[in-house]
Homo-oligomer: A and B are copies of this chain.
Amino acid sequence: MSKNRTIIDIATALGISPSTVSRALNDHPRISNETKEKVKKLVFELDFTLNPMASSLRSNKTQTIGMIVPGISYYFHATVLTVVQNLLWKEGYQVIICQSNDSPEVEKELVNTLYASRVVGVIAATTLRTTDFSHYDILTRNQIPLVFYDRVPVNYYPAQIVKGDDYKGGFEATEHLIQLGCKSIAHISGPLTCNLYKDRYAGYIDALKKYKIPYRQDIVFFHELSMDNAVESIKKIFKMETKPDGIFTANDTSAIGALMVARELGIEVPKEFKIVGYSNDPRSSIISPGITTIDQHPDLIGQQLAITILDLIRGAETNLITEPIITPITLTIRESSKA
């Protein structure tokens, strides 16, 4: 194991002091350009890098940003992660990705570990069932910038929020079905404790109101958005006397479930029954008929997250938390909702 070089090696080689080398490397203003260049040249030649542990220990600051997601492999989060990680890496930050596996207990532990690791910022999508956010207090209390995205606190919490326009998504999905002539539109929603479903549901309701379509409680479902649950609900729908002629589901898995049940029962989509999902999961474009869905543009959300956390970290003195940042959505029309 070749012993690592230190700042002292650079200093002695150049006949200057370690502090000067340190300052040169950190672009300290009161160091002559001449010295800076001299130092940087040698550092480059020797392929020297500062020991990040030593820097962090001394300055009590890391270059690490924590990111908490329910799971890496969900399409939406994977895409957000990809963008965030790439952008922050370019800015010299390590991103440490943590998975809550949708467990509030694990989430709590993750926050503590991230805090103990002295991260300089945290980006988090909470679990579906997190209603108490006090385990994040340790961050806010210590002025560690915190940005929530996607699944965010429903009530006030002193952290920045970045999220897709779920209300608009719900509204446009429903309006689209109405404009296609649907008279009775079912809805599969997740639990209303989660902002995502609350907002999409609100959009659904308001679209119905706008077009004076009566709300039918018997065709609106609230449950975890798994395939099994979806299939069960859809089957109920198709057994009703007055069947709905369309459905808006709060995720694409449920929409796929709806399509499968319809196929099984010989109900023609979109002719007899129209479907709109949510998220633009890759599967929704592959299945036939393709499923109309709301694209949340996870890449845009990722970009916004990177920008936001960097702003907060760099301007940490001033309190920069603003109103929630809402990113746009796009209704993506496919065969499942053609006229």
Contact = CB atoms under 8 A, between A and B. Distances in A.
Given A85-B72, A99-B86, A1 B54 contact: no
Interface stretch (A88-96, A152-160, A166-174, A190-198): A88-96
Contacts of A79: 73
Contacts of A256: 286
A219 interface: no
A286 B116 CA distance: 43
Contacts of A265: none
Nearest to A143: B1
B287 A49 contact: no
Nearest to A49: B116
A336 to B, nearest CB: 13
B283 A116 contact: no
A82 B102 CA distance: 13
A266 interface: no
A17 interface: no
Contacts of A89: 98-99
Given A86-B101, A101-B86, A283-B283, A53 B56 contact: yes
A2 interface: yes
Contact of A73 (B47, B78, B287): B78
Contacts of A47: 112
Interface residues of A, number: 42
A12 interface: no
Contacts of A75: 73
Given A94-B96, A287-B286, A288-B288, A72 B62 contact: no
Nearest to A298: B73
A314 interface: no
A282 interface: yes
A79 B99 CA distance: 12
A55 to B, nearest CB: 9
Given A52-B117, A62-B53, A99 B72 contact: no
Given A78-B78, A86-B99, A86-B101, A53 B49 contact: no
Nearest to A61: B53
Nearest to A98: B89
Nearest to A260: B286
The 6 nearest A-B residue pairs measured at CB = A49-B116, A73-B78, A53-B57, A53-B56, A283-B286, A72-B82
Interface of A: 1-2, 47, 49, 51-54, 56-57, 62, 71-73, 75, 78-79, 81-82, 85-86, 89, 94-99, 101, 112, 116-118, 141-143, 256, 282-283, 286-288
Given A53-B62, A72-B78, A287-B287, 17 more contacts: A1-B142, A2-B141, A49-B112, A51-B57, A51-B118, A52-B118, A53-B53, A54-B57, A57-B57, A72-B72, A72-B81, A72-B85, A73-B79, A78-B78, A86-B101, A283-B286, A286-B287
27 contacts: A1-B142, A2-B141, A49-B112, A51-B118, A52-B116, A52-B117, A52-B118, A53-B57, A53-B62, A57-B57, A72-B82, A72-B85, A73-B75, A73-B78, A78-B78, A85-B97, A85-B98, A85-B99, A94-B96, A95-B96, A95-B97, A96-B96, A97-B97, A256-B286, A283-B286, A286-B287, A288-B288
